Amino acid sequence: MTTLLSAESSLTIAGVTLECVQRGQGRPVLLLHGAGGPRPSAPFMDMLAQRVRLIAPTHPGFGNSPLPDWFDNVDDLAYLYLDLLDRLDLHDVILMGFSMGGWTAAEIAIKCTHRLSKLILVDAVGCKFKDRETREIPDIWALHPSEVNKLTYFDPETFAPKLDQMTDEQLQMVARNREAAAMYLWEPYMHSPKLLRRLHRINIPTLLVWGAHDGLATPEYGRSYCAAIPGARMEIIEKAGHTPQNEQPEAFVATVMRFIEGK
């Protein structure tokens, strides 16, 4: 078994301070969390850290990462993480993003891939495939939380956050994450009007991993995403919704490791 190296610290990149978890050894994987915030203690994180070196920053405005007053969109995140790759002088990086983090990863890859070797998008958002009048992703701020949970999870009873069991500190973090997510995702809602026309620039092997029961960004949406990226392929995780890494961690890790190891 690989000896795990673990560190939770902060990094300052181009004047922006980020909390960052680094765990494991081996090929570097830059992991970008989704709108729900970071999950450093999630089982899939431990499983991956047995095989690779995880670098998992917390986006500005989420967790304990401060939010600069000039920082307000996913494009800002993309350039920040390009600066992070330069600052840490990382090469042959696997870039993996979940949901909003997947959108961010796609924005990074259309700009520059010279430090990247592979791209993994997990139930990513960020694109508009249909006409402007057709909603492709439900409005999570207009729906009751129970409805959002049904769309998000295959098994919401087990995996949806249980707010009534959280401490005041945990609830404050949930509120901060939700506020940050609204800032990044609201206008235009969960997409960049230009991203679809730029996905052809992605020139590294790309895997899209999708929960079979994702009701937010459906598998149909994922297949459209996959078709827009040259040479990309898609894997479906059964009995999982928008967060297959949490609902089916073993299947998720096996899927991404086959791709990382070229199997």
Residue numbers of the domain that contains 95: 6-260
- 181-186 mean pLDDT: 96
**In the chain, what are the helix, strand and coil shares in percent, each to the nearest 5?**
35, 20, 45
In DSSP terms, which residues pair with 211 in a beta bridge?
237
230 pLDDT more than 60: yes
Strand order in the sheet with 16-23: 6-13, 16-23, 53-57, 28-32, 93-98, 116-122, 206-211, 233-237
Query: ∠ CA(84), CA(228), CA(137), 5° rounding?
Result: 80
Q: What is the CATH number of the domain that holds 241?
A: 3.40.50.1820
Would 224 be classed as within a structural domain?
A: yes
pLDDT at 132: 85
- 38 part of a folded domain: yes
Residue 145 lies in a domain: yes
Indicate yes or no: pTM above 0.85.
yes
Is 1 among the domain residues?
no
Q: Looking at residue 44, what is its pLDDT?
A: 98
- Whether residue 235 is contained in a domain is answered as yes
Tell me what pLDDT residue 133 has: 87
Count Cβ atoms below 10 Å from residue 65 Cβ, excluding itself: 21
- Residue 136 — pLDDT band, cuts 50, 70, 90? very high
Tell me whether the omega of the peptide bond preceding residue 188 falls within 30 degrees of 0, making it cis: yes
Q: What's the total number of domains in the chain? A: 1
What per-residue confidence (pLDDT) applies to 124? 98
User: Alpha-carbon distance 61 to 182, whole Å?
Assistant: 11
* pLDDT tens digits, 20-35: 999 999 999 999 999 9
